[in-house]
Amino acid sequence: MNKLITIAAACAMWMVAQAAQARSTMTCATVSKAQIAALFDRWNNSLATHDAAKVTANYAPDAVLLPTVSNQPRTDPAAIKDYFVHFLESNPKGTIDSRTIHIGCNTAYDVGTYTFTLSGNTPGSTRTVKARYSYIYELRDGKWVIVHHHSSAMPEAVK
């Protein structure tokens, strides 16, 4: 997990540095850690709609998704939507197990671990997947959007 936090922190630090260069013409929005945490809830609630377009609406047009159950990086809205069309078939519901939130100027990251409950192959059955995650958000046109999302199964779950 330390390696994940280090990578996410490095990405966020780069983004913050880029924002710092533009600060002379940019106003930094005031946002709390609770508001950033609520962005996961917004995303998770969009999963409950079973509408891949609503999930994809949480992402910036140039976002990168490195998903849990696909080897293919998703780097445009069509590819991100395609991933969620299939992921939503498992009726996913995520819960945060641990998190670290850092806020910069119109950027924020939320990294940690979560557990997903997914529908099983037989009616009424479920399974859980524990994973690490990182979300990097940017404030664009007044809306916080995901610009980077990485999720990977916990190493001990991969056999």
Output the six-digit token pair for 12: 């966020």
With beta carbons less than 8 A apart as the criterion, state whether 83 and 74 touch.
Answer: yes
pLDDT tens digits, the chain, 159 residues: what are they? 566 555 655 555 666 666 555 555 789 999 999 999 999 999 999 999 999 999 999 999 999 999 988 899 999 999 999 999 999 999 999 999 999 999 999 999 999 999 999 986 677 789 999 999 999 999 999 999 999 999 999 988 655
**Alpha carbons 77 and 56: distance in angstroms, whole number:** 7
2-21+29-157 in CATH: which number?
3.10.450.50
Domain boundaries, given as residue ranges, for the chain: 2-21+29-157
What does the pLDDT read at residue 12?
A: 59
